[in-house]
Structure 1
Amino acid sequence: MKSITDQLSTYKSVHLNTSNIKTHFIGIPLIIWSVALLLNIVSFDFTINSELVSVGLGTIIGLVALVYYVALYIPMAILVLIIFGPIIYSTHLFVGHEHVIVIAIGVFVGGWILQFIGHAYEKAKPAFVDDLNQLLIGPLFLIAEIYFALGLNKAMEEKVYNEAIDKRKEFESNKS
């Protein structure tokens, strides 16, 4: 498994433009919310202490992603839970809506439009084009940006940034 700095620097290498990063702070949560909404249409019922509990597929997949983030770096995984947990949980309010699929698709498309607008500013393709695992790193990247803005783990921030610059230079040289 690649380290957190390797994962984040790869993602950061095509997310150096502040306008691109800003669009991602809106687009990624919208995409996560819409995918979780669609997946939470499918739910599994469990009985715990004589109580029926229903857990959506989106919630289950979100928890699996959280385990991956814990394996990468626990402090950021905690922030993922604090920030993205409520976003995923809120989808349960819409699961029974008559137009749930239309809502989810509309939000999904809107989120991706923002992503591609951001990459137009960046003049670089999205990170997932070369590595699908980067789809999982997008939410963690946003958390890392918050984490570093709070002044936490400056050594990691510097390493991620420096490696990202090197990867971007390599990307640019291969492009021409």
Structure 2
Amino acid sequence: MNSFFRRQLADYVEYHRDPWNCAMHVLGIVLLFLGAVLPLSSLPVPAFGAQANAATIAVLPVLIYWLLLDAALGTAIVGAAVLLLLAAAMIVNHTTAAGMWSITAVLIMIGIASQIVGHRVFERRQPALVDNPSHLLLGPMFVMAKLFIALGFRRDLAAIIQQVPKITPHGSLQYSEQLHGEPHPHT
């Protein structure tokens, strides 16, 4: 795990403390990814003498980015992405164009709604990507990190994600600086 990812994850966690919000993100991120790749899966693209689709080509840069941020989490996300790309291809092969667009719209609406409900109802805070648009790409890494921690792996990530706010002498909340080695940007 590089220091850039450590800082980004520590900042992202600030917006995702509530377990129900995190659960809504698991649902929302999966549905939004599937909704994004579904229409692209219907566009064939010849690549290196083989037949691929635009979805596979489109996700490669972000998959590489996730692998560079953290090899283990990135590899797990690649595995999940392959399954979702296969699901998208099966949907495209078994439905009409109108059906595919209807499914895409429903997936995106439910995905966005789950994110909004998670932040408004449970977290009572605006989404992280409002303050930092790059957090749009951090959601899958956060969800996978939570899964790794729940399975007993990656104590280094647990130290960042499971930080407990502490009360400073002035009564304000401050997250432990020793856990990630530098002051938090919001303190």
Secondary structure, aligned partner of 2:46 = strand
Determine if contact 1:6/1:160 at 8 Å carries over to the other structure.
no
Q: Distance in 2 between matches of 1:137 and 1:47?
A: 30
**Letter matched to residue 12 of structure 1:** V
Q: Which moved more, 1:77-86 or 1:10-19?
A: 77-86
Q: Residue in 2 aligned with 1:16?
A: 17
**Letter matched to residue 160 of structure 2:** K
Tell me the TM-score normalized by structure 2.
Answer: 0.79
The counterpart of 2:56, out of the listed 56, 59, 64, is: 59
Deviation at 1:40, TM superposition (A): 2.1
What's the % identity of the aligned pairs? 22
Q: Distance in 2 between matches of 1:132 and 1:146?
A: 23
**Letter matched to residue 23 of structure 2:** K
Aligned 1:73-88 pairs, distance under 5 A: 73-88=70-85
Structure exhibiting the larger radius of gyration computed from Cα positions: 2
Are 1:130 and 2:139 an aligned pair?
Answer: no
* 5+ long unaligned stretches in structure 1: none
Q: Residue in 2 aligned with 1:46?
A: 47
Secondary structure, aligned partner of 2:112 = helix
Deviation at 1:161, TM superposition (A): 4.0
Deviation at 1:15, TM superposition (A): 0.6
Tell me the TM-score normalized by structure 1.
Answer: 0.84
Deviation at 1:94, TM superposition (A): 1.9
Aligned 1:152-167 pairs, distance under 5 A: 152-162=153-163, 166=175
Q: Distance in 2 between matches of 1:2 and 1:131?
A: 17
Q: Residue in 1 aligned with 2:69?
A: 72
Q: Distance in 2 between matches of 1:126 and 1:95?
A: 31
What is the RMSD of the two structures over their aligned residues, measured on CA atoms? 2.5
Instruction: Return closer, same or farther for 1:132/1:56 CA change in 2, 3 Å cut-off.
Output: farther
Deviation at 1:163, TM superposition (A): 9.4
* 5+ long unaligned stretches in structure 2: 166-173, 177-183
Q: Which has the higher helix share?
A: 1
**Letter matched to residue 25 of structure 1:** V
Deviation at 1:8, TM superposition (A): 1.5
Q: Residue in 1 aligned with 2:171?
A: none
Secondary structure, aligned partner of 1:95 = helix
Secondary structure, aligned partner of 2:101 = helix
Deviation at 1:131, TM superposition (A): 1.8
Number of residue pairs aligned between Structure 1 and Structure 2: 167
Q: Distance in 2 between matches of 1:65 and 1:154?
A: 25
